[in-house]
């Protein structure tokens, strides 16, 4: 940390309950500067790269498109448009497997020919622009939360009048083991991230801006201190103790402000908005350069890949192209995970495209993968101690296994953030997160059916 900085840097004043300390293994890729992936010949652009309704395609097979051109429109309030990540021809409209194991529609683009951009009008003088127009621009550019959830940023930046926001927290925790894409973004694009954070604070009219980073990234803390020291107002870097899941919104709000988001509530209920550092970069790019969100940095890492790397790749790049750009596999990958080992999804094929929320691709050899047989719960209580949401994972799991989903809902199933801390500590190797995910999907499907 830079002790001579003018920036107000403080250790986080609060510590959330629960959490775990897995092996982080970030050294595999944290020293690899961001490298631009050579443009793949074929991109499979999913229509569902965000939370909410999939985007609606507006192109036909055979259409020529330019990079940045709208190819699928926003389809409802909680939705986001998709743009062409490169110039080329629309070769197909088809179903694709996604990183979460589900399928969704996709626009397939063959990228031959000269690369030309179709940008939105740049707004370099954003301080003079109307705040609603800025939020609309961010929506038009398809910006969504890039830390994992993919919630449309336009919606987050338009809170109702009775929910004033006084604090913006810029999330640079990156607490998932192995992943280093946000870390590299903070080192290499600090000024752009700062501009994005200022735009977000301006739109929300928030007084305070906090940059939250775990203490295992001292170089990122220093880079952010330098970048933010000329920003006016109540601005500080908050150094978080390294603890998983420090990057989760509710835990981070508590660590930084001491405010507790109520059960079933949202950050806006306690006057906060949390945005990931890569999202702040995308906000900057959309507003200042007029570039829609069509590419992102992804960590391709693990002991089964030849050269662990941080790649700037167009959305729609197949995992197989990412692995090839990292020198291929080192031996055999026994497990491939889309995302990090705690919250990611195991995938059975490399024929899966990246999207706006794809922060990592983890390839592990057999020596790093353990196979356990699940045993009966021994009521040790470790899962309760580890749960950062103060839930009772063993009880939840028992309800779900008995198909008592309503019972699980009554003991706050929907508050589970699927962090995996409970499963990590369980000596009986119970598939607790698997149960939570399955039950939450059932509840969500029921709610969606009731709405219809
Ligand atoms: S996965 Fe859910 S139940 Fe398990 S520790 Fe995380 S929040 Fe708690
Ligand atoms: S940690 Fe595992 S064995 Fe212990 S109480 Fe929880 S579910 Fe049961």
Ligand nearest to the CA of 343: 1
Phi, psi values for residue 297, rounded to 5°: -90, 135
Nearest-10 Cα torsion for 256, 260, 262, 267: -20
Q: What is the pLDDT of residues 241-263, one digit of tens each?
A: 999 999 999 999 999 999 999 98
- Looking at residues 61-65, what average pLDDT do you find? 97
Could you tell me where in the chain the CATH 3.40.50.11540 domains are found?
Answer: 8-31+128-289
**CA–CA distance from 310 to each of 196, 242, 329, 441 (Å)?**
21, 22, 16, 32
Domain 8-31+128-289 belongs in CATH node 3.40.50.11540 = yes
Query: The tokens 């950050």 sit on which residue?
Result: 267
Ligand 2 binding pocket mutation candidate from 372, 426, 434, 436 (most atoms within 8 A of CB): 426
- Looking at residues 84-101, what average pLDDT do you find? 92
Give residue ranges with CB within 6 A of ligand 2. Answer: 377-383, 393-394, 425-428, 430
CA 394 – ligand 2 centroid, Å: 6
CA 173 – ligand 2 centroid, Å: 28
CA 397 – ligand 2 centroid, Å: 10
Distance CA 275, CA 175 (A): 15
pLDDT given at position 230: 85
Lowest-pLDDT range, 34-38, 48-52, 211-215, 427-431? Answer: 48-52
Q: What is the pLDDT of residues 265-287, one digit of tens each?
A: 999 999 999 999 999 999 999 99
Give the burial string for 318-329 (b: 16+ CB within 10 Å, else e): bbebbbbbbeeb
Ligand nearest to the CA of 395: 2
pLDDT given at position 305: 98
pLDDT given at position 1: 44
pLDDT given at position 4: 41
pLDDT given at position 113: 83
Cβ contact 108:84 at 8 Å: no
Q: What is the pLDDT of residues 365-377, one digit of tens each?
A: 999 998 889 999 9
Ligand 2 binding pocket mutation candidate from 383, 387, 400, 425 (most atoms within 8 A of CB): 383
Distance CA 200, CA 306 (A): 39
| Two structure tokens written together for 104 | 């969704």
Query: The tokens 């291929």 sit on which residue?
Result: 328
Nearest protein CA to atom 2 of ligand 1, as residue: 416
Q: What is the pLDDT of residues 388-404, one digit of tens each?
A: 999 999 999 999 999 99
Nearest protein CA to atom 7 of ligand 1, as residue: 416
What mean pLDDT value characterizes the chain? 94
Please identify, by atom number, the ligand 1 atom nearest to the C-alpha of residue 415: 7
pLDDT given at position 6: 56
Ligand nearest to the CA of 420: 1
């Amino acid at each position: 940390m830079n002790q001579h900085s003018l920036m107000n840097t403080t250790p986080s004043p609060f510590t959330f309950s629960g959490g775990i300390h897995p092996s982080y293994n970030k050294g595999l890729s944290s020293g690899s500067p961001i490298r631009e992936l050579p443009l793949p010949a074929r991109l499979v652009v999913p229509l569902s790269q965000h939370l909410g309704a999939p985007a609606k395609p507006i192109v036909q097979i055979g259409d020529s498109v330019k990079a940045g051109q709208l190819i699928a429109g926003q389809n409802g309030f909680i939705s986001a448009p998709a743009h062409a990540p490169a110039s080329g021809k629309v070769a197909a409209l088809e179903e694709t497997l996604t990183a979460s194991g589900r399928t969704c529609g996709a626009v397939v683009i063959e990228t031959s020919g000269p690369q030309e951009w179709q940008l939105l009008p740049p707004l370099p003088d954003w301080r003079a622009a109307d705040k609603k127009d800025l939020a609309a621009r961010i929506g038009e550019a398809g910006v969504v939360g890039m830390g994992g959830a993919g919630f449309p940023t336009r919606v987050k930046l338009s809170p109702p009048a009775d929910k004033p926001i006084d604090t913006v927290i810029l999330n640079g925790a990156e607490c998932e083991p192995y992943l280093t894409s946000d870390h590299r973004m903070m080192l290499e694009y600090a000024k752009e991230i700062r501009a994005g954070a200022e735009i977000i604070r301006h739109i929300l009219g928030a007084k305070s801006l906090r940059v939250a980073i775990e203490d295992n990234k001292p170089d990122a803390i220093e880079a952010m201190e330098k970048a933010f020291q000329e920003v006016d107002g109540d601005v500080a870097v908050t150094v978080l103790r390294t603890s998983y899941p420090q990057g989760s919104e509710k835990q981070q709000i508590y660590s930084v402000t001491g405010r507790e988001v109520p059960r079933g509530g949202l950050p806006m209920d306690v006057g906060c908005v949390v945005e990931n550092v890569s999202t702040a970069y995308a906000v900057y790019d959309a507003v200042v350069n007029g570039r829609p969100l069509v590419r992102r940095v992804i960590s391709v890492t693990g002991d089964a890949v030849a050269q662990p790397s941080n790649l700037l790749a167009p959305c729609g790049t197949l995992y197989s192209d990412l692995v090839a750009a990292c020198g291929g596999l080192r031996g055999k990958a026994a497990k491939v995970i889309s995302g990090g080992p705690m919250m990611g999804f195991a995938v059975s094929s490399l024929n899966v495209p990246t999207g706006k929320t794809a922060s990592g691709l983890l390839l592990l050899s057999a020596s790093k993968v353990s196979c356990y047989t699940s045993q009966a719960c021994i009521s040790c209580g470790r899962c309760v101690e580890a749960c950062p949401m103060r839930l009772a994972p063993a009880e939840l799991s028992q309800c779900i296994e008995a198909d008592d989903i309503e019972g699980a809902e009554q003991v706050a199933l929907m508050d589970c953030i699927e962090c995996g801390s409970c499963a990590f500590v369980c000596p009986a190797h119970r598939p607790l997160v698997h149960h939570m995910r399955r039950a939450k999907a059932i509840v969500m499907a029921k709610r969606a059916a009731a709405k219809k």
